[in-house]
Amino acid sequence: MTSPSYALVLDLAGKRVVVVGGGPVAARRATSLVTSDAQVEIVAPWLCEELASLVADRRVVWHARDYRIGDVDGAWLVHTATGDRATDDAVASAAESARIWCVRADDATVSAAWTPAVARGADGVLVAVSGGGDPRRSRAIRDAVAAALDTGELPVRATRSRVRSGPGTVHLVGGGPGDVGLLTVRGRRLLAHTDVVVVDRLAPRGVLEQLSSDVEVIDCGKTPGHHQLTQDQINEVIVERALRGLDVVRLKGGDPFVLGRGGEEALACHAAGVPVEVVPGVTSAVSVPAAAGIPVTHRGVASSFALVSAHDGVDPIAHAAREHAPTTTLVLLMGVRLLRDSAAALVASGRRPETPVAIIERGWTPGQRTTVGTLADIADLADGRGVESPAVVVVGDVVALRERLGAFSPEVR
Ligand code: SAH
């Protein structure tokens, strides 16, 4: 059977709406009407706490008495939720004769109008659900839609050209270690809305397949057919697109501010007057060891960890080893190329040659592989296995916990 109902979205700003009833149902209706900027009048001899506070805040006007004839006159819309059938009948029929839409809370089957369950997304997106007279069903559908809006799974990108006076925003989004599931909800939502994505090699690239085909994707990584963009070129491209009025997601691996040059990109945006925001991500420094069953701290084993870049030589590594107690776990990023020198520098700086070391390659991806050794033998083991970047190197007794915990993401041998 087709339903004769007709869906409509109302702009109630400044319009008089009468709510008859002072209980929690009336309060819910009044609250959403107030949010819609309607001019709300409550007719009720008493008020529940929620309505009383709306009155105290002067967000609604209260007529402290029973409903009487003439109350709905001049209203654009009426809600009745008195809990008393006779009163609701009287309100509804008064509204009917005045040709005013009336929503009855007591009985949807005799109501002239219904309020749908509503899910709201960014940018004015609103999804209204009517569950065919079953309010619990409409709420359940609404909740599912709201969750999908939140996670960016729905194609919510604006398709009509937006009139924008100023520049777009650059969002520096941390994508986590590579698995799409480890991208934050906020990051995923921004991807669903953006015009341009500027993506790194180590970002969760699987998410790109889910983007609408008219999103411009600029690849900064060294993938076949693309030359690698320099940091200056990346800064230029994000600023240039934003100044054209486009929204940009700069999708990076891990966290943007952990050895990710996110600060430099933010400064470039500042210098150009482009609004910029950062969305933190799950850093590989902590999450990749976790994938291999290695907590970077563990009660009684290590109460701190130090994160060091091995990109520009071993001095920072030797320095960290001297500065921190032997119980401090050392986590090296970009550590494959100088692994042999790093291990030697750590021993020269006082770490025991038997200190456990783990190298986790491609954490949280199908190619994850872990190599475990000691400072004395890790370089030879890594050579023998052909260990490659990207990999996280963990130095410290926490590595042994892997034997008891096991890997949390499947590994290849
Ligand atoms: N901003 C990033 C780090 C960028 S530096 C973050 O917070 O994670 C790049 C280094 O990160 C790589 O050389 C490697 O050491 C590490 N890395 C990033 N993703 C990785 C992954 N999935 N598996 C192993 N190492 C990874």
- Cβ of 183 below 6 Å from ligand 1: no
- Cβ of 284 below 6 Å from ligand 1: yes
Residues 6+ apart with CB under 8 A from 194: 157, 171, 215, 247, 248, 249
pTM for the structure as a whole: 0.77
- Cβ of 364 below 6 Å from ligand 1: yes
Q: How far is the CA of 201 from the centre of ligand 1 (A)?
A: 10
Q: Which stretch of 42-56, 144-158, 394-408 has the lowest confidence by average pLDDT?
A: 144-158
Q: How far is the CA of 363 from the centre of ligand 1 (A)?
A: 9
State the pLDDT at residue 151.
76
φ/ψ (deg, to 5) at 322: -75, -35
Q: Are 15 and 38 within 8 A, CB to CB? A: yes
Q: How far is the CA of 369 from the centre of ligand 1 (A)?
A: 14
Q: Is the pLDDT of residue 3 over 70?
A: no
- Shortest-distance atom of ligand 1 to CA 360: 24
- Cβ of 320 below 6 Å from ligand 1: no
The whole-angstrom separation of Cα 314 and Cα 344 is 9
The whole-angstrom separation of Cα 346 and Cα 353 is 9
- Cβ of 392 below 6 Å from ligand 1: yes
Give the rounded distance of the alpha carbon of 222 from its chain centre.
Answer: 28
Q: Are 41 and 16 within 8 A, CB to CB? A: yes
Q: How far is the CA of 35 from the centre of ligand 1 (A)?
A: 45
Catalytic (active-site) positions = 200, 222
Q: Is the pLDDT of residue 2 over 70?
A: no
State the pLDDT at residue 68.
96
Q: How far is the CA of 269 from the centre of ligand 1 (A)?
A: 24
State the average pLDDT for the chain.
93
What pLDDT digit, counting tens, does each position of 131-165 carry?
Answer: 887 888 999 999 999 988 877 778 777 776 666 78
What pLDDT digit, counting tens, does each position of 86-97 carry?
Answer: 999 999 999 999
3 state DSSP class of 217: strand
Q: Are 395 and 307 within 8 A, CB to CB? A: no
The whole-angstrom separation of Cα 82 and Cα 144 is 31
Q: What is the mean pLDDT of residues 304-317?
A: 96
What pLDDT digit, counting tens, does each position of 218-276 carry?
Answer: 999 755 555 789 999 999 999 999 999 999 999 999 999 999 999 999 999 999 999 99
Exposure string over 247-286, b if 16+ CB within 10 A, otherwise e:
bbbbbbbbbbbbbbebeebbebbeebebebebbbbbbbbb
**What's the distance, Cα to Cα, between the start and end of the chain in Å?**
60
Q: What is the largest CA-CA distance in the chain?
A: 93
State the pLDDT at residue 1.
45
Token pair recorded at residue 37: 């900027």
State the pLDDT at residue 289.
98
Type of residue found at 182: L
The closest residue, in CA terms, to atom 9 on ligand 1 is 334
- Shortest-distance atom of ligand 1 to CA 333: 15
Q: Are 33 and 103 within 8 A, CB to CB? A: no
